[in-house]
Structure 1
Amino acid sequence: MNINIIAVGKIKENYIKQGIKEFEKRLSAHCKLQIIELADEKTKENASQKEIDLVLDKEGSRIEPYLDGFYNIALDIKGKKMDSIKFADKLDNLMLDGISDINFIIGGSLGLSDEILKKSDFRLSFSDMTFPHQLMRLILLEQIYRAFRIINNFPYHK
């Protein structure tokens, strides 16, 4: 299986970088993982909705070239919530359906554009809470690793 994490914004904190490296290493036994880091747009304080939409559209235009030929899962606070076992079932069912190329899309601090959300095959929410997009990358990698452990009946997930 090929998994891309398409993420807007750079990781600045070393502890997050170290965690990401750890899960990249762990996931290498289960999938081919690629992290595609895209530039984010600067957003001024108290931006108008029009300015916010412009930022989202610019970031979306950077994401769009990576979508074709992949099953695209957008991380969206309004998406479907799942526990870890249901998430593992979702990945397992995609593999059983012959889908071997998956993108997970993490937007910048403002989220994802409507256009990217419309082009996504599935919207996934981790919580009603808002997480920093840098930390979300680490959380997502850990959950993908947990899913593979569940799928393969290996200990870890409890």
Structure 2
Amino acid sequence: MRLTVMAVGRLKAGPERILVERYLERSAPLARTLGFGTVDVVELPESRAKRAAERKAEEAAAIVARCDNGIVLAFDETGASMPSPVFAERCASWRDKGVDSINFVIGGADGLDARVHARADGLMAFGAATLPHQLVRILVAEQIYRAMTILTGHPYHRV
């Protein structure tokens, strides 16, 4: 099963990129033992349109075009909070159902367009606060790693 973190915008060299890479590198050996692939990161360009609605629409077109027939889990402030064990179990359930891929989608500075919401199989939020997409990418990478540790019984996740 392919796992892809699909994000609008680029992470520049620095602590944010280092943290994302660290969590994804840690998750790779666990993911392989669980029947997941390594996690790919796809960075989509930010729209240069003048209005937010136009930017969101352009970015949505790029996101939807890159999502195959797999699962789309979009991270958005309007989404539901999901405890880590539930997140892990949901990923395992999709794997067990034979889903080819999970796309973890992170929007740009203006958020996600309704087209992405409509395509998404789920919307998830890291609380009610609006967070910068760079931090969301770190949190998504960490949750993927945490899910792998939960599913393997690794002691990283403590209840």
The 3-state SS of whatever aligns with 1:145 is helix
Kindly provide the CA deviation profile for residues 84-111 of structure 1, in whole angstroms up to 9, marking residues without a partner as x: 1111111121112222410000000111
2:42 to 11, 36, 39: 36
The 3-state SS of whatever aligns with 1:28 is helix
- Offset at residue 42 of structure 1 (A): 4.1
* Corresponding letter in the other structure for 2:38: K
Q: Take 1:93 and 1:37, find their aligned partners in 2: how far apart are those partners? A: 27
* Corresponding letter in the other structure for 1:115: R
Kindly provide the CA deviation profile for residues 45-67 of structure 1, in whole angstroms up to 9, marking residues without a partner as x: xxxxxx22111001111112111
Q: Take 2:20 and 2:74, find their aligned partners in 1: how far apart are those partners? A: 19
| Aligned-CA RMSD value | 1.4
The gaps in structure 2 that reach 5 residues or longer are 32-36
The 3-state SS of whatever aligns with 1:89 is helix
Aligned 1:2-151 pairs, distance under 5 A: 2-12=2-12, 14-29=14-29, 30=31, 31-42=37-48, 51-151=51-151
Detail structure 1 runs of 4+ shifted over 2 Å in the superposition: 41-44
Equivalent residue pairs, number: 152
Q: Take 2:47 and 2:100, find their aligned partners in 1: how far apart are those partners? A: 31
Q: Take 2:131 and 2:115, find their aligned partners in 1: how far apart are those partners? A: 22
Q: Take 1:100 and 1:155, find their aligned partners in 2: how far apart are those partners? A: 28
The 3-state SS of whatever aligns with 2:131 is coil
The 3-state SS of whatever aligns with 2:76 is strand
